[in-house]
Amino acid sequence: MQPSKTRVPALVAALILLVIWQIAALVIGQDIILVAPWQVVTTLVTLVPQPGFWATVAHSLLRIVAGFVGAYVLGVLSAWAASRNRWVGALLGTLMRLIRSIPVVSFIILLLIWANSTWLSLWVAGLMVLPIIYANAEEGFAARDPKLTAMADVFGFTPVRRWWAITLPGLMPFLVAAARVGFGLAWKAGVSAEVIGLPTGSIGDRLYQAKLYLSTADLFAWTAVIVTLSYLCEKAILLVLRAVSTALGRYGTGEPRLAPPTQVCDPVTGVRFRNVRFLYGDTPVLSGLTFDCPAGGTVWLDGANGTGKTTTLHLALGLLTPASGEVTPAASARSAVFQEDRLCDHLTAVANVRLGLGYPAPTAAIITELARAGVTSDLTGRPVGQLSGGQRRRVALVRALMRPAGFLCLDEPYTGIDEASLDGVVTYTLERIHDRAVLLVCHDATVAARFHPRRVPLRTPAADRHTK
């Protein structure tokens, strides 16, 4: 949307309010009750050149901003701690509800009893904003996509990669919302504390002086200063958050400085299922499942919908635990094409592939592999959220095949890929498999046959069908 389309209605609304204000001032006709807009402007023009004006602004600005920033950091860290442990979450949630319900004046009086008024606005602004930041951040952490988290587990993301690629991008909209609401409240609470505590040289002190001397013009002028500072502070932190979002979109796009490894795959012994049983709630999905998938071999899991094909893959990847039986992992490093693409939408195709590799692959090498899978060079630098379903599927496939892992799961890997290019993508897959152990789910028997697999049929467990 063009800026003019959003700014013009706001400017018109502001002009209408100024006209109403001017008319009301003329009708009342008493400056001590309501001054006209031009008188406020005149007072501001007189105040701004004075050295004491800027010292007063700096006094309140530094303390209120420091209180907001401190509460912002503390709120996010507290929400993160709450997301890691439910007991910590219960404790912090109760504390935040308590802080939110206590009137601001009670905090002000208590802080005046416990300490002097010099830093009163910092503590009050921070306390009022903290529950808002915490609530938004808590919601952001709770909204993390569990499928992306599982993908990060399979691809061995380090905590740093997990934070920058998944957690923080999902958290950003909630942090922006908290900043929009929080800064205005911080200024209201901070200045209220100054009016009561009267720290020398603060905006609250000047408001109190205006009240004592019945200087309504000064009162309105300093109120305009507060509104302006609140607006500018909000815009400043939103610019910072926007810069962080831009940086997140570039994460993983830089050229690595280290050379890639020479080893293609880690040692692999194959995957083994022994009498595996799995239930979703009380409903049995697998019962007595036994098979081997050796190194250099492919097992095709064949069966109707609901027979546990994807569940079997997730058991092999370690994302699920069987109710009974044994699943022996195929290798220390795993790789997969999931039923869904499970890509980081804000990152480019190159960055998504590089994040999944676990080693610093050169950009040119990734682009070459993407091209072999049918992702054209003009698309490799775009966020994958802008790509079509078929192109996204190719990116997910390249990410899985380039990863030097001895065990590979392919769950309907060619979903969304058009018939015209399917043959080429399957050929590319077969060329990249090498000597891995492969578990394949594919509804197209003709495509599955090209892998020369051992077929393992899956059926709903008849013996457990009515078990409760």
Question: Which pLDDT does position 32 carry in this prediction?
Answer: 86
Specify whether 413 is located in the same domain as 379: yes
Specify whether 151 is located in the same domain as 244: yes
Q: Is residue 14 part of a domain?
A: no
Q: Is residue 8 part of a domain?
A: no
Q: Which residues of the chain have pLDDT under 70?
A: 1-6, 257-269, 330-332, 462-468
Q: Is residue 374 part of a domain?
A: yes
* Domain of residue 151, CATH code: 1.10.3720.10
Question: Which pLDDT does position 2 carry in this prediction?
Answer: 45
Q: Which among 249, 281, 311 is the end of a domain?
A: 249
DSSP letters of 61-83?
HHHHHHHHHHHHHHHHHHHHHHH
Q: Is residue 73 part of a domain?
A: yes
Specify whether 168 is located in the same domain as 291: no
CB-CB neighbours of 16 under 10 Å: 10
Question: Which pLDDT does position 461 carry in this prediction?
Answer: 73
| Tally of domains in the chain | 2
Q: Is residue 99 part of a domain?
A: yes
Specify whether 195 is located in the same domain as 276: no
Specify whether 287 is located in the same domain as 224: no
Specify whether 295 is located in the same domain as 419: yes
Asked whether the beta carbons of 366 and 226 are under 8 A apart, the reply is: no
**What tokens were used for 364?**
């040119």
Specify whether 301 is located in the same domain as 378: yes
Q: Is residue 261 part of a domain?
A: no
Residue 438, helix vs strand vs coil: strand
Q: Which residue has the tokens 């609530």?
A: 135
Specify whether 392 is located in the same domain as 433: yes
Q: Is residue 466 part of a domain?
A: no
Alpha carbon of 386 to those of 120, 215, 279, 348, 377: distances in Å?
49, 58, 38, 9, 14
pTM comes to 0.84
Specify whether 347 is located in the same domain as 217: no
Question: Which pLDDT does position 466 carry in this prediction?
Answer: 46
In this structure, are strands 437-441 and 407-411 parallel, antiparallel, or unpaired?
parallel
Asked whether the beta carbons of 128 and 294 are under 8 A apart, the reply is: no
CA dist., res. 394 & res. 384, Å (int) = 11
Q: Which among 182, 215, 249 is the end of a domain?
A: 249
Question: Which pLDDT does position 29 carry in this prediction?
Answer: 87
**Tens digit of each residue's pLDDT (9 = 90 or more) over 85-140:** 999 999 999 999 999 999 999 999 999 999 888 999 999 999 999 999 999 999 99
Question: Which pLDDT does position 463 carry in this prediction?
Answer: 46
Signed CA dihedral, 374, 376, 381, 386: sign only:
negative
The upper half-sphere exposure of residue 386, i.e. CA atoms within 13 Å in the direction of its Cβ, equals 11
Specify whether 245 is located in the same domain as 276: no
CA dist., res. 294 & res. 120, Å (int) = 69
Specify whether 238 is located in the same domain as 310: no
Residue 448, helix vs strand vs coil: helix
Asked whether the beta carbons of 337 and 411 are under 8 A apart, the reply is: yes
Q: Which domain holds residue 356?
A: 271-457
Q: Is residue 22 part of a domain?
A: no
* Domain of residue 398, CATH code: 3.40.50.300
Specify whether 223 is located in the same domain as 324: no
Asked whether the beta carbons of 275 and 426 are under 8 A apart, the reply is: no
Amino acid at 15: L
